[in-house]
Amino acid sequence: MNTYDKLSRLYQRWLQRNKLNPLISADDLLYDHRGGNVTLSNIQEKWLVKFTNVWWKAEDHEHEKSKTEEEKCMELWHDYMEWDKRGFSEFFLHEFGITIHDCITYKQLKLLCEVLIPHAKTYYHPRRK
């Protein structure tokens, strides 16, 4: 059973227990409540807010899991090397004498970036965190 199935079942049980429309999404229910079309208690509203936050985090997690190694490496380059415009191979060879081969994994490349250029995000992008 995947994450979305688990969350959907949890939400459906919650709707049944609270005698609410089983066909409305959590976002729509919250929107309708804030617009005055549906009345929810403070506890129900807080539960819905927490649930939608968990759903969004699950979406982010599922999206991250679905990325290819190449996509992850490109994001890593964007985070650490955008200011330099060289590729990882050229940068690590010239700056540290390290030869990067095509078989390097995302995790290995990320470790190199974190250890050897940890200041890049804050030094070159002071507003980013």
**pTM score above 0.75:** no
Q: Tell whether 129 is covered by a domain.
A: no
The per-residue pLDDT for range 40-96, each reduced to its tens digit, is: 999 999 999 999 999 999 999 888 888 998 899 899 888 888 877 888 899 889 888
How far, in Å, CA of 87 to CA of 76, rounded? 11
The last residue of one of the domains, among 66, 83, 98, is: 66
The per-residue pLDDT for range 107-121, each reduced to its tens digit, is: 999 999 888 887 655
87 in the same domain as 42: no
Give ∠ CA 86-89-94 in degrees, rounded to 5. Answer: 75
* Number of domains composing the chain: 2
Q: For residue 86, is it left (φ>0), alpha (ψ between -120 and 50) or beta?
A: beta
Can you give the pLDDT at residue 3? 84
The last residue of one of the domains, among 21, 39, 66, is: 66
Residues spanned by the domain of 73: 69-124
56 in the same domain as 41: yes
